[in-house]
Amino acid sequence: MQVFTFDLNEKGTSRLIVSVANVQGAMFFQKTPALIHVPGGGFMFCSESDTVALGGRLMGKGVGVICTYLYPVARDYRWPQVIIDLMRSIKILRDHADEWGLDPDKIIISGNSAGAFICMSTGNLWNRPDLMAAAGCTGEEGKPNAMVLGFGPMYCGQQTDDGIVYVPNGDLVGPQTPPAFFHHARLDTLVSVYQTIAMISNFEKQKRPFATYISSCGGHGETGSTARILGADGTVGPSIDDWFEPCWRFLQNQLKLQQLPQPMPPMFAARGEGAEGERPAMPPMMAPPPVVPEGSVPVTPADMPLGQADHIHMPFNAGFMDKDFTTYE
């Protein structure tokens, strides 16, 4: 396993962590798909450990390059810089395709919660001339080939250098948007399931390929977890095991993966110090406490009927309401 780290902007506020399991020269070697995962965290924090659940399973299917995009968070977060940096990440993979043994036409991006929003926006906007120029792209270098999107606020306020802009991802879906697999819990009280329902409605209107898993119970983030949670009402919540195999079949169909590209052990090596050739196991998921922006007014989901069927807009952060914003077009 080789691990590489790339800084994605001049401020050093975002990084791409690349783990390459492909072995050049092996008898069974052939180019494999690659994954870039974008963690959740409410735009306030993100952790490499968020990649483990999906990344480990895809590596077990023969996806030989697994990456984490650690984007700017809290006061450093800026739109559309996060999109530009993710496009740069995709371009980095294509630039190293031969070296790392990946198929440049089979790059998957995935994201949970805030990360799903960043992925969806990138899937919609990768061909915008201003974003392409900023990312150093002249063609399709920054284009994702497929997306896996979990419980994301798809219609969401975003912090720019000049204030808040509202990004209605559903309205931006078009022929340029790659195929997407969505997963969400119906009883999510932080990001309403209507966010996903509205997105798949727009995918269907635009005749873009999609597939969806919506659990009947469970809260925010549970469809992306490896452990099931027993609810207060006695229901057993969802987990990634409920939808991973249908998702893999969706990716096989959309990316034309008729056979496993390459046998791989079902494991995912983490970064870290250790003996030569060895990497320590990934530590348990531990999220740092969020940094609350100055002037924030805490609210509860009950106080914030955003993201529902009659009011789809989600705020940039659950800690405050977006009162003054323009709409991204």
235-259 pLDDT, tens per residue?
999 999 999 999 999 999 999 986 5
Confidence of residue 300 (pLDDT cuts 50, 70, 90): low
Distance spanning both ends of the chain, measured CA to CA: 42
d(CA 188, CA 237): 11
Do the domain assignments include residue 279? no
Do the domain assignments include residue 156? yes
Average pLDDT for 257-266: 55
Residue 239 backbone phi and psi in degrees, to 5: -155, 175
Do the domain assignments include residue 227? yes
Do the domain assignments include residue 242? yes
Confidence of residue 271 (pLDDT cuts 50, 70, 90): very low
pLDDT value of residue 327: 80
Do the domain assignments include residue 132? yes
In 3D space, the residue among 302, 323, 316, 251 whose CA is nearest the CA of residue 61 turns out to be 251
d(CA 83, CA 144): 12
Q: Give the count of domains, the chain.
A: 1
Comparing 128-137, 163-172, 256-265, the range with the smallest average pLDDT is 256-265
Residue 180 backbone phi and psi in degrees, to 5: -140, 140
Q: What's CA 88's distance to the chain center, in Å?
A: 15
Residue 103 has pLDDT above 80, yes or no: yes
pLDDT value of residue 301: 57
* pLDDT, the chain, mean: 85
Confidence of residue 145 (pLDDT cuts 50, 70, 90): very high
CATH number of the structural domain spanning residue 289: 3.40.50.1820
Evaluate whether 228 touches 239 at the Cβ level (below 8 Å).
yes
Comparing 80-94, 201-215, 295-309, the range with the smallest average pLDDT is 295-309
Do the domain assignments include residue 124? yes
* Tens-digit pLDDT profile for residues 69-99: 999 999 999 999 999 999 999 999 999 999 9
Q: What's CA 70's distance to the chain center, in Å?
A: 11
Average pLDDT for 194-201: 96
pLDDT value of residue 321: 62
Q: What is the DSSP letter of 188?
A: -
**Cut 0.85: pTM above it:** no
pLDDT value of residue 314: 73
pLDDT higher for 183 or 326?
183
Q: What's CA 26's distance to the chain center, in Å?
A: 31
Domain holding 233, by residue range, is: 2-274+284-327
pLDDT value of residue 265: 47
Residue 308 has pLDDT above 90, yes or no: no
Residue 154 has pLDDT above 70, yes or no: yes
